Structure 1
Amino acid sequence: MGAAADNHVEESSPLLPAAVGAAIPADEKPPLAPAPAPEATKLYADGVPVVIGEPVAAHAIPRESWSSGILSCLGRNDEFCSSDLEVCLLGSVAPCVLYGSNVERLAAGQSTFANSCFTYTGLYMLGSSLFGWNCLAPWFSHPTRTAIRQRYNLEGSFEAFTRQCGCCGGLMEDEERREHLEVACDFATHYLCHPCALCQEARELRRRVPHPGFNNGRSVFVMMPPMEQTMGRGM
C-alpha cells in the first residue's frame, strides 16, 4: 500500500511531464501559427502587367510616345520611308483603303479589310453628298485609334497636353477618368484632323505589325510533283 501511494504521488506531481494523451487546458494551448498570405496573382491587360491585391500605381508602366507626330505627313527618314510615302498618298487620295488596311493589321481576320473599307466608303459618300464634307466617317473610325493606343500602351493626346502644359495633374491620377478624356480626345482628333490621324495610325501599325498577307514572315515552299517518266527502247 505504501508503494502504491508513492507512485500515485509521483504521477500527480506537477513537476513531472504530462502523460501522453492527457488533455491540455484551453488557456495553456500554444497559439496557432497565422496562415501564409496568398501570393499575388499577376495578370496582363493590354500588354501591361497588373498585380491583384496591390495598387496599380506601384506597378504603373510609363506610356510610350507615338513613333511619329500627327503632322509628320512624310513620316521619318528611316527604313519605313517608302511605306510612309505610300501612307501619305493613300490618306490623301483613298482614305477608305488606308482605313481598311489599318483595321486589317490591327484585327487580322477574314473580310476585315472589305467590311471596313466598304463601310467607310458608304459613310464618306453619304457625308459628302448630304453635308458637303466627310463628317460621318470619323464617327466610325475613331475607335481604331483608341484600340491602337490601348494595345501598345501609347500616350494619348490629353496626357501629352498635360505633360507639356503642366496642368490638370489631378485628372491623370484617376485612370478611369483619364481614359474617358483620352477617348474624347481620340474622337476630336479624328473629327478635326481626320486624314492626319489615319496616316499617323497607319505609320504606327506598319512599324509594329507585318501585313497579314506576308504570313508573318514565314516562307512557304511549294513542292511540285515529279513529272511522269516513261522508258523507251534504245536504238
Structure 2
Amino acid sequence: MSTPGNYQAISDAERGVNPPVPWADGCLDFFSDCEVCLWGCCPLGCYQSLFAWNATDAGTEDFHPALLRVCGLTVVVPNLLGFVASTAPSLGPAVQPLSTANQLLFAWYGMTHRQKMRRRHNIKGTDCGLCSCFSCLCEGDDEKIEDFCLYLCCAPCATCQETRHLRRWGITTRWRPKYPYDANGRVAGIGGGSYQAPPGQAMDVPVAPVAPGK
C-alpha cells in the first residue's frame, strides 16, 4: 500500500478516473479519537466551531459564515423558540412546527456541506444504513439520504467523523495529523495508533488545483 501523503482536493475530470476513498472510520467510532469526540460533545460553542473548522478545511465554506449559520440553527433559534414556549404556553402549538422545521433545515444544511466535502475529496460510500423514509427529498441518492439522516438524528456524530477524516489524512489546519500511514501502509505516529488502513485502499489521490469555494 502506498503512502497517501498527497491526498487532496481533486478536479471533476480527475474524479472520474480516480477510485473513490471511504470515510476514515465509521460515524459511531467515537473513541478512535477522543480529543475530537470531546469537542463534538460540547453543545455550546465547541461543536459549532468544529463544524465551521471542517467547512473551512474541507473547502466547502469560509469559517465565519459557517459558524454564524450553525450557531443560528443549533443555538439561537432553538433557545428562542424554547423561551417563547416557556413564557407563553398558549403559543406552544405554533412553536413545535417551527422547531421541527428548524431541525430539518439544519439537517439539510449539514447534508449540503457533507455532500460538497464528498465531491471535493472524492469520498464515497455509506456506513450507517439507509434511511429510505427521506429518499423522496434526496432524489433516491443513498449518500444524500445517509448524510441528511445523520445530521437530523446525530449531527455531532457526522461532524466528528468528518473531523477524523480530515485529521487522519492531514487535510486540516486546526488539528495535528493523527496516525498517518507510513511507507508500508501501516499506521504510524502518535501513541502507537489505533487506526487501521481500510483493506485494499491505497488512497493516494493526486493533487489538483481547485478554486476556493468550489
TM-score after normalising by structure 1: 0.48
Instruction: Output one character per residue of 1:154-213: Cα deviation in whole Å (capped at 9) or x when no partner.
Output: 23228x859xxxxxxxxxxxxxx77x3322221112112211011001111122313179
| Structure with greater contact order relative to length (CA < 8 Å, sep ≥ 6) | 2
Structure 2: runs of 5+ lacking an equivalent: 1-10, 82-95, 131-138, 177-214
Alignment of 1:99 onto 2:51: yes
Q: Which runs of 4+ in 1 moved over 3 A?
A: 131-134
Count of residues in Structure 1 that have an aligned counterpart in Structure 2: 136
SS in 2 for 1:157: coil
SS in 1 for 2:31: coil
TM-score after normalising by structure 2: 0.53
Query: Cα offset for 1:137?
Result: 2.8
Query: Cα offset for 1:62?
Result: 4.5
Q: Which residue of 2 aligns with 1:181?
A: 142
Q: Percent identity?
A: 29
Q: Which residue of 1 aligns with 2:173?
A: 211
Which whole-Å CA distance do the structure 2 matches of 1:213 and 1:69 have between them?
19
Q: Which residue of 2 aligns with 1:137?
A: 106
SS in 2 for 1:74: helix
Q: Which residue of 1 aligns with 2:210?
A: none
| RMSD of aligned Cα (Å) | 3.3
SS in 1 for 2:20: coil
Q: Which residue of 1 aligns with 2:69?
A: 119
Q: Which residue of 2 aligns with 1:64?
A: 21
Which whole-Å CA distance do the structure 2 matches of 1:152 and 1:47 have between them?
11
Q: Which has the larger radius of gyration?
A: 1
Structure 1: runs of 5+ lacking an equivalent: 1-43, 51-60, 76-83, 163-176, 215-235
- What is the one-letter code of the residue matched to 1:118? L
Which whole-Å CA distance do the structure 1 matches of 2:120 and 2:129 have between them?
21
Instruction: Output one character per residue of 1:59-96: Cα deviation in whole Å (capped at 9) or x when no partner.
Output: xx543221111101122xxxxxxxx3331111111211
- What is the one-letter code of the residue matched to 1:127? P
Q: Which residue of 2 aligns with 1:232?
A: none
Q: Which residue of 2 aligns with 1:86?
A: 35
